[in-house]
Each structure stands twice: as structure tokens, then as C-alpha cells.
Amino acid sequence: MQELITGDPEERASAALARVDALHTALTRIVLEGGNLDGIAAEVASVLDAGVAFTSTDGRERAGSMSADVRAALVDAGLVDPTGRLRVERMDVDGTVRALRVAAGGTDLARLVCVRLGRPLADDDVHALERAAAVAALLITREEAVNAVENKYQGDFLRDLLLRRAADPAYVAEHAATFGWELDRPVVVVAAEIDPADEPASSAQRRQWQERFSAAWRQVTDTVGRGIPAVDFSSEVVALLPVGESDEVGHDVVRRAVLAVAGDKGGGRRPFSVGVSRVAPSLDRLPEAYAQARRAVEVGRRVRGGGSTTFFDQLGLHRLIALIPDGPEGNGELRSFVRDVLGPLAADTTEAADLRETLQVLLDTNFNVAEAARVQFFHYNTMRYRVSKLERLLGPLSTDPHLRLDVAVALRVHEITG
């Protein structure tokens, strides 16, 4: 327990400075001896008689030394979200809770959170925390340099595996064991992408978002189970989540992971979309599963918008459409089909989009004009007029079930191809 310093102001200032210097020396020794953030957190917590944690810039805890009482106090103050994220953006509470930036070279690396129950943090305490943040920045910079090399190596290996470039089972087994991955079990392939930003952002900013996003997936998969690959492919994160007997298609494990990565979306987290493959029971099915996950995230974002989680098996008709090749030849055939069936309704105009919406409502209500009018808040006669116009443009929709099927498929294709 830290003792309160009494005496005249000069003595107090001298004692506080000596304490900060002693802490800095202790922390430097921890780094030089190969220590980690947990060691730094424990040392700072002991010296300041407080709870200490290091988090990512958006509040995901990386290391800490906090008692159960301190954690309970943070929860009671509304400073922890349901997934355990520390709400660092709110932490300046009566001087008892502080969150300091950990930065190096102008780059945000982490947050240092300090909580002291019962009395506020004094100025010399904050000075000590600033020293600790500087030392932690050196350690994090070193760790990230090592991690960048490891992640690049892991990413190249997993990409080769998913694209059928690594065929030798002995080679695969050797490298998987080196990374601590367990690949000989049923998994679903998850492809996660940050949604396009509405605001302008530099390439450095986007890279920082991606690095934080991939770190979040790695941290979450570590809590899901052992030996789970989660790798940054530059524009996406790919994870191989294991499925158990009680979750044969992987829906539960995926939803838990997505919820944990998203949190309450505070702290500057970016919205993202996820595509999930069918279960791949063996290594040789991983390339097929990766292709399914990629198609699922692409189609899901087009149909449902950003922030969606799409399972390949739940794409319905979109699943069949997604099987058509990505290249110009495949997309050209799809667009030709849409033009042939929808005619002028395939145009990129406000009037065509309005008529497509009405047509979809009519299909959803089995061409019940009264119900369709109610759904679109139209007068019955207005909807009758629209039905007549649609039939002039497309043919006898109300009486020809085969034509209705073609039109329904064309509308779904239009959603995907734009």
C-alpha cells in the first residue's frame, strides 16, 4: 500500500520525483529483461496502489493488473461494454479513472488505463503514468515489429493453403505445428472486411484500421479456443473457426466471435461485414470453403448492406447466382439476363428503381393488389395502374407463373450485379 507523503512542498515534490524515477528504472529493467505488458502493469499497479490495464486504442484489454473490486467498479460506472471492452473514450471519472495514450512516432499504439478506488490520482501519479506509457510504447513497438514478420509469414502460408498452392501434407503439417494451429478438424472459413468508409481517409489511416481489426480477430479467436488461425490478408481477415458437435454448422461460434469483435462499436471501431462458408471437414475442402466465404461477404454486402454477417448456406437463390464465375464472361451473362427479362426496368434511373420496388412487393404478396397497395401506402387504383404499366412493359405477370419466376430471379440478380 502506498503511503501518503507528508511534509513541506519541496520534500513532497522531491519524494514524488524520486518515486517516478524509481518506477521508470524498474520498468526499463522489465523491458530489457524481456518482460511484457503484464509485468509493466503489475509494477505500475503496485507503485501507485491502483488497478492498471493496457488496452488497444479501442479498449480491448491486452494486459492488466486489476483486482475484482476494481473491475466491478468499472462495470458499475458503465465503463465496460457487454463484451468486456473498456470504454476508454469515457474514462475521466472524478480523477479516479484515467486513460492515457500510448504512442510512438505520432502513431497511436494503445491506451493505459489506471483506476484508483477511494481517492483521485494526483498530478505526480499522472506523471508516473506518462513515464509508464513511454516505456510501454517501446515494448509495444518491438512486439509489433516481430508480429508483423510473423503475421506476414502466416498470411503467406494460409493464402497458399486456401488457393491450393500448398499440396504437400508434410509441408502443411510442419508449418501448422510451427504456428500452433490445429487444422485437422472441421472448421468454417470466415472472411471479414471493414466496410468502405464514408469519410475520406489516408492510406495510413486505413492501414491502422486494418491492423486494429486484425488484432481484434486474433485476440477474440484466442478466447474461442486453441490453435485457431486468424490472419490478415491486407484487405480482409480470414479465420478458421472450429465447429463442435452441438454447433454442427458453426453459426453459434461465428456469431459469438462477430459480437466480441464488434463490441458496442465504440472507441473508434469500424463497421465490418462477414462471410461464412459451409463446414470444411478436411484440409482439401478449405479452398472451396474460402471461395464460399468470399462470395458470401460480397453478396451479403450487396443485398443487406454493410455490417452484415452472411452464411453461404443461407443465400438461397443468391447462392446459385453466386456460383456463376466472377469474370467478365460470367457477369456479362448475368447482366444480359437482367436486361432481357426486366427490359426498361433494368435501367439505372429513379423511375426504374421505383417500379422495381413495386414489382418486388407484388411478387412478395403473390400479386394481391390490395395487399401490395397497403404495403406501399398507395391507393388501390394507383396500384392497379402500376400493375397495368408493368404488364405492358414485361408481359402478363398476373397470369403467367413462369414469367413471374423469371422476373423474380432477375430482380435478385440485379441486387447482386447492381
pLDDT, position 324: 67
| CATH code of the domain containing 200 | 3.30.70.270
Please indicate, yes or no, whether residues 171 and 118 belong to a single structural domain of this protein.
Answer: no
Please indicate, yes or no, whether residues 399 and 383 belong to a single structural domain of this protein.
Answer: yes
Please indicate, yes or no, whether residues 132 and 171 belong to a single structural domain of this protein.
Answer: no
φ/ψ bin of 389: left (φ > 0), alpha (ψ from -120 to 50), beta (otherwise) = alpha
Please indicate, yes or no, whether residues 318 and 332 belong to a single structural domain of this protein.
Answer: no
Please indicate, yes or no, whether residues 84 and 231 belong to a single structural domain of this protein.
Answer: no
Boundary-marking domain end, from 295, 322, 349: 322
pLDDT, position 3: 43
pLDDT, position 331: 57
Domain containing 341: what range? 328-417
pLDDT category at 8 given cuts 50, 70, 90 is: low
In terms of Cα–Cα distance, which of 111, 132, 119 is closest to 50?
119
pLDDT, position 4: 43
| CATH code of the domain containing 73 | 3.30.450.40
Q: State yes or no: pLDDT of 286 exceeds 50.
A: yes
Please indicate, yes or no, whether residues 130 and 176 belong to a single structural domain of this protein.
Answer: no
Average model confidence (pLDDT) for the chain? 85
Boundary-marking domain end, from 294, 322, 350: 322
Please indicate, yes or no, whether residues 241 and 338 belong to a single structural domain of this protein.
Answer: no
Rank 246-250, 313-317, 340-344 by mean pLDDT and report only the highest. 340-344
Please indicate, yes or no, whether residues 284 and 177 belong to a single structural domain of this protein.
Answer: yes
Please indicate, yes or no, whether residues 202 and 314 belong to a single structural domain of this protein.
Answer: yes
Total of domains in the chain: 3
pLDDT digits (tens, 9 = 90+) for 195-230: 988 778 888 888 888 988 998 999 899 888 889 999
pLDDT, position 13: 62
Boundary-marking domain end, from 144, 175, 204: 144
pLDDT digits (tens, 9 = 90+) for 131-172: 889 889 989 998 888 888 888 889 899 998 998 876 678 888
Percent of the chain whose predicted confidence (pLDDT) is above 90: 27
In terms of Cα–Cα distance, which of 185, 171, 168 is closest to 281?
185
Please indicate, yes or no, whether residues 178 and 318 belong to a single structural domain of this protein.
Answer: yes
Model pTM above 0.75: no
pLDDT digits (tens, 9 = 90+) for 324-375: 664 554 457 778 888 888 888 888 888 888 999 999 999 988 888 899 899 9
Q: State yes or no: pLDDT of 5 exceeds 70.
A: no
